[in-house]
Each structure stands twice: as structure tokens, then as C-alpha cells.
């Protein structure tokens, strides 16, 4: 999908200066009057140079990041011998629907018109920490590097196997005593296993107050290993549910389908999320459902997907009003990919 928006002459001039001046760390870009336009450039901080300059300059980006406003950041990352450019798209999870769609559909236009060959990589972020946090960049470096040191690979393989086990057990309901990274299995309220994990009050309140057309999203806060409220929206149409769900981090989404008493539970776990995110979310899924049921919600339909693009309006309607020959609820259903 293309938005019809194009690069302005002002942005082209600013980008030419950016590519030629190695003292510039970031060129922020926004959309105004149906054009891609530049904001004030951000220089590298202090007198540092080389690879370390990138990390020491990251905190400066907070000055142009707003919690509900998408933005593009063109970044220069020095290496030991040269530098590479990164095209970063920041679309906050709780941004309004129209800006979300506008910036998402224009990101390809931005790099294409400036010259795709000039960018070494592209990044999509929905949270500020994914931009200013050094750990997020180092994790991306590790993913891009592929096979690392032998001992690191051994650790990654162990964790990946634990993720696969946790996901399989979450589907089958077979309890195990330990998941390797935080949390302990406890008996579920009804069937199967869940991870016993603290839940903050805001999450419980949002679930209790869920009305028709409402969408409540929970997530696991990794540092505290607590289930927290990620977002809460009202008046959400079935066809726009996907635009509210993060495409980079796992989410437990509870959607009260309009015109019905049905609450659909949607578990999304993007493949690009970290190993620990995947493990904790996969093994805490039943716990999230138990929390919702404890707040008075009756979860009749469940969908599992690797990303929000699979959660279409048609798919939700099919879950709520299945064809007669398919009968009642089918447990966790993997949605068909778009176009199939």
C-alpha cells in the first residue's frame, strides 16, 4: 500500500547535507502537507568518535520522540573504518490510527526516493526504549551477526529450545516445573498450566471495564516479570484491530466484538521479538486469560498469530460467527495469512 506522499525538495537538500557531513548523527523526518519534510538535524554528542559515538548519542533522540506521534529517524552509525545509514520508523503503539497507517505506508517511499542503496539497514520500533536503549541495538547486532561465539550460540540454542517447549506446553496444557527464565508454573483455573506472575492494577481495571468495541492489551514487563497494561482503546472497529497491536513485541489482546457478548483473546508473538519476551509471553498466556476471567470476562474465542497483520476483520467475524458446518469454538485458532 502506498500513501501518495513524496519527498520534498527541503528533505532532499537536508539529506544531501546529512550524507556529506559525518558530524551529523540523526536527521528526523515527518509528514506535513502531504510531503516528507525534515526536522532539525541532531549532531553527535560530545567529542566522541567511532563506534562508541553512536551509543553515547542515543539519549539525544528522546528530544524528538513523543508517545503518540510517529516519526522517521535517519541515523548515521560509525564503524571502525566508515559509517552506515539506518532508516528507522517509529510508530508508537498508542498513536492514532490514521497517523499509524500513513507512516507505515510511506516508509518504503522515504528510502526509495532518497536512494535505497544508501541505507545499510532499516528498523521498525513501537517503543522509545527500542530506540534509545543500548540493549535493543546490541540485540539487533546479535541477530544480524547470525552465528556468534560458540558459547553464545550454546546459550541461544538452549533458550530457543526452552521457548519452543514453553509454546508447545502452553498449547497442550501440559505442566512443567520450571521454564528457565523467571516465573513458576502453577495450576490454572480450569485446565492446563500457567505461569504465576504479578498483575498490575491498571491491567485488572481495564479488563473489568471492557465494553463492546473495546480493545485491552496486556504485556509482560521483562525487567519486573509482571503482567501490565500495554494499551486500552474504545470504539475499535474489527477491521482496525490490527493497527493497534504491536508488530515487534508480544501482546495479549482482549477484544469485545461489537454487537455481541463475545470477547476474543488474541495472542500475537512476532518472530523478531527477543527470546526472553517469547518465552515469558508464551508460558504466561493462560495466566493472562485467568486474570481476565477473574475480572468477569468470559473468553469464548482464542486466536494465535505471529503478527497483527493476520488479525483481519474477516478473521474476527469468522471466529464470532463461524460457518454452521464448523460448529462452536475451536480452541486456539491460527489465522490464515492475508491473501489465502
Q: Which domain holds residue 173?
A: 151-333
Higher pLDDT, residue 201 or 93: 201
pLDDT tens track for 222-280: 888 899 999 999 999 999 999 999 988 999 999 999 999 999 999 998 877 777 788 78
329 and 186, same structural domain?
yes
User: Cα 326–330–331 angle (5° rounding)?
Assistant: 175
300 and 193, same structural domain?
yes
The pLDDT value given to residue 33 = 84
Question: DSSP state, 69?
Answer: B
> Do the domain assignments include residue 251?
yes
252 and 112, same structural domain?
no
pTM above 0.75, yes or no: no
| 8 Å CB contact between 102 and 3 | yes
Q: Which of 145, 160, 183 is the last residue of a domain?
A: 145
> Do the domain assignments include residue 340?
no
Task: Name the residue among 289, 313, 104 with its Cα closest to residue 335.
Answer: 313
Question: DSSP state, 66?
Answer: B
User: Of 2-16, 26-40, 151-165, which gets the smallest average pLDDT?
Assistant: 151-165
- What are the grid coordinates assigned to 29, written together? 523526518
> Do the domain assignments include residue 201?
yes
Three-state SS for 107?
A: helix
What is the average pLDDT value for the chain, to the nearest integer?
80
Mean pLDDT of 5-13: 94
Whole-angstrom Cα distance, residue 321 to residue 318? 5
What Rg value do the Cα atoms of the chain yield, rounded? 22
207 and 126, same structural domain?
no
The pLDDT value given to residue 182 = 32
Mean pLDDT of 13-24: 95
> Do the domain assignments include residue 339?
no
Residue 142 has pLDDT above 80, yes or no: no
Using CA atoms in the order 188, 194, 200, 204, what is the torsion angle rounded to 10 degrees?
A: -50
Higher pLDDT, residue 93 or 45: 45
User: In the structure, what pLDDT confidence band is assigned to residue 98 with cuts at 50, 70 and 90?
Assistant: confident
| 8 Å CB contact between 106 and 3 | yes
Q: What stretches of the chain show up as alpha helix (H) in DSSP?
A: 9-20, 51-57, 97-114, 129-132, 134-145, 150-172, 201-208, 241-244, 275-283, 285-294, 313-320
> Do the domain assignments include residue 1?
no
210 and 256, same structural domain?
yes
Whole-angstrom Cα distance, residue 193 to residue 173? 5
| 8 Å CB contact between 160 and 275 | yes
Q: Which of 125, 145, 165 is the last residue of a domain?
A: 145
Mean pLDDT of 15-28: 95
| 8 Å CB contact between 256 and 212 | yes
Mean pLDDT of 149-178: 46
181 and 44, same structural domain?
no
As for how many domains the chain has, the answer is 2
121 and 16, same structural domain?
yes
Q: Which of 107, 124, 145 is the last residue of a domain?
A: 145
Read off the CATH number of the domain in which 281 is found. 3.40.20.10
Three-state SS for 216?
A: strand
Residue 338 has pLDDT above 80, yes or no: no
134 and 165, same structural domain?
no
pLDDT tens track for 305-327: 888 988 999 999 988 887 665 44
Residue 49 has pLDDT above 90, yes or no: no
pLDDT tens track for 117-132: 999 998 988 889 899 9
> Do the domain assignments include residue 217?
yes
Region class of 199: left (phi > 0), else alpha (psi between -120 and 50), else beta: beta
User: In the structure, what pLDDT confidence band is assigned to residue 195 with cuts at 50, 70 and 90?
Assistant: very low
155 and 132, same structural domain?
no
> Do the domain assignments include residue 172?
yes
98 and 162, same structural domain?
no
The residues, any chain, with a CB within 8 Å of residue 337's CB and separated by 6 or more, are 310
The residues, any chain, with a CB within 8 Å of residue 146's CB and separated by 6 or more, are none
Task: Quickly tell me which residue has 541515523 as its cell.
Answer: 75
The pLDDT value given to residue 160 = 53
User: In the structure, what pLDDT confidence band is assigned to residue 83 with cuts at 50, 70 and 90?
Assistant: confident
266 and 168, same structural domain?
yes
Residue 287 has pLDDT above 90, yes or no: no
> Do the domain assignments include residue 90?
yes
Whole-angstrom Cα distance, residue 299 to residue 297? 6
Region class of 235: left (phi > 0), else alpha (psi between -120 and 50), else beta: left
302 and 162, same structural domain?
yes
Higher pLDDT, residue 166 or 100: 100
Whole-angstrom Cα distance, residue 51 to residue 79? 5
User: In the structure, what pLDDT confidence band is assigned to residue 181 with cuts at 50, 70 and 90?
Assistant: very low
Amino acid at each position: 500500500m502506498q500513501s501518495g506522499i513524496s519527498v520534498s525538495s527541503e528533505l532532499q537538500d537536508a539529506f544531501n547535507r546529512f550524507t556529506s557531513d559525518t558530524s551529523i548523527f540523526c536527521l528526523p523526518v515527518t509528514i506535513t502537507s502531504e510531503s516528507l519534510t525534515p526536522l532539525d538535524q541532531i549532531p553527535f554528542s560530545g567529542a566522541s568518535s567511532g563506534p562508541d559515538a553512536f551509543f553515547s548519542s542515543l539519549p539525544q533522540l528522546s528530544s524528538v520522540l513523543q508517545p503518540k506521534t510517529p516519526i522517521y529517524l535517519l541515523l548515521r552509525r560509525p564503524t571502525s573504518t566508515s559509517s552506515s545509514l539506518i532508516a528507522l520508523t517509529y510508530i508508537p503503539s498508542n498513536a492514532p490510527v490514521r497517523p499509524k497507517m500513513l507512516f507505515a505506508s510511506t516508509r518504503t517511499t522515504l528510502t526509495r526516493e532518497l536512494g535505497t542503496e544508501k541505507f545499510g539497514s532499516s528498523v521498525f520500533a513501537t517503543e522509545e526504549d527500542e530506540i534509545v536503549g543500548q540493549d535493543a541495538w546490541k540485540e539487533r547486532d546479535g541477530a544480524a551477526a547470525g552465528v556468534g561465539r560458540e558459547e553464545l550460540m550454546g546459550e541461544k540454542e538452549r533458550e530457543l529450545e526452552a521457548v519452543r517447549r514453553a509454546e508447545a506446553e502452553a498449547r497442550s496444557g501440559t505442566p512443567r516445573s520450571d521454564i528457565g527464565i523467571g516465573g513458576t508454573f502453577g495450576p490454572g483455573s480450569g485446565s492446563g498450566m500457567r505461569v504465576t506472575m504479578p498483575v498490575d492494577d491498571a491491567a485488572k481495571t481495564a479488563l473489568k471495564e471492557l465494553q463492546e468495541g473495546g480493545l485491552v492489551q496486556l504485556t509482560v514487563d521483562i525487567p519486573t516479570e509482571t503482567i501490565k497494561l500495554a494499551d486500552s482503546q474504545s470504539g475499535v472497529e474489527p477491521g482496525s484491530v490490527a493497527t493497534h497491536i504491536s508488530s515487534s513485541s508480544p501482546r495479549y489482546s482482549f477484544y469485545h466484538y461489537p454487537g455481541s457478548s463475545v470477547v476474543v483473546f488474541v495472542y500475537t508473538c512476532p518472530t523478531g521479538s527477543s527470546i526472553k519476551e517469547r518465552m515469558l509471553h508464551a508460558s504466561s498466556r493462560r495466566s493472562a486469560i485467568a486474570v481476565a476471567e477473574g475480572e468477569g470476562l468470559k473468553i469464548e474465542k482464542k486466536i494465535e498469530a505471529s503478527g497483527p497483520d493476520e488479525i483481519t476483520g474477516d478473521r474476527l467475524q469468522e471466529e464470532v460467527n463461524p460457518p454452521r458446518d464448523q460448529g462452536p469454538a475451536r480452541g486456539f485458532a491460527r489465522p490464515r495469512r492475508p491473501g489465502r
